[in-house]
């Protein structure tokens, strides 16, 4: 979406903001499908006594229809924060385990339990 504003006393306009559509959306309460729902559904379907699971980046990519390049090289991509992939995983009671990112082995380890989120939420401000 592009937001345009008119310059006062002129017939000219200026672009004020350009909003890009997010390609990775999280599962919504209304049941709409998001990009990371395949991963969340897989984790949600694991037996209750399975406390952790290690998946290859290829498996995760298959669940979500492809991962961005940053998922293969930046540990921050897998942080348990407010990014859509983190929210999707946490929405079903899982998170990326401590030391769960192994780029050499090309694996991510997930563990049961809710952790992460924004700092404001952890502090109760949200």
Domain boundaries, the chain: 25-122
DSSP assignment of 30-95, as one string? T----TTHHHHHHHHTS-TT--EEEEEHHHHHHHHT---GGGGT-GGGG-SSSSHHHHHHHTTTEE
The whole model's pTM is what?
0.67
pLDDT in tens, 1-26: 344 444 455 544 444 443 333 333 44
Asked if the model's pLDDT at residue 93 lies above 60, the reply is: yes
pLDDT in tens, 106-117: 999 999 987 755
Specify which residues 111 forms β-bridges with: 52, 95
CB atoms under 10 Å from CB of 42, counted, come to: 19
């Amino acid at each position: 979406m592009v937001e345009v504003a008119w310059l006062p006393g002129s017939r000219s306009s200026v672009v004020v903001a350009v909003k890009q559509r997010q390609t990775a959306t999280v599962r919504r309460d209304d049941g709409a499908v998001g990009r990371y729902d395949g991963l969340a559904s897989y984790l949600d379907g694991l037996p209750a006594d399975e406390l952790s699971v290690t998946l290859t980046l290829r498996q995760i990519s298959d669940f979500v229809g492809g991962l961005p390049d940053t998922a293969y090289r930046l540990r921050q991509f897998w942080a348990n924060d407010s990014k859509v992939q983190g929210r999707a995983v946490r929405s079903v009671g899982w998170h990326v385990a401590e030391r769960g990112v192994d780029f050499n082995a090309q694996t991510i380890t997930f563990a049961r339990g809710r952790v992460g989120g924004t700092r404001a939420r952890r502090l109760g401000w949200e």
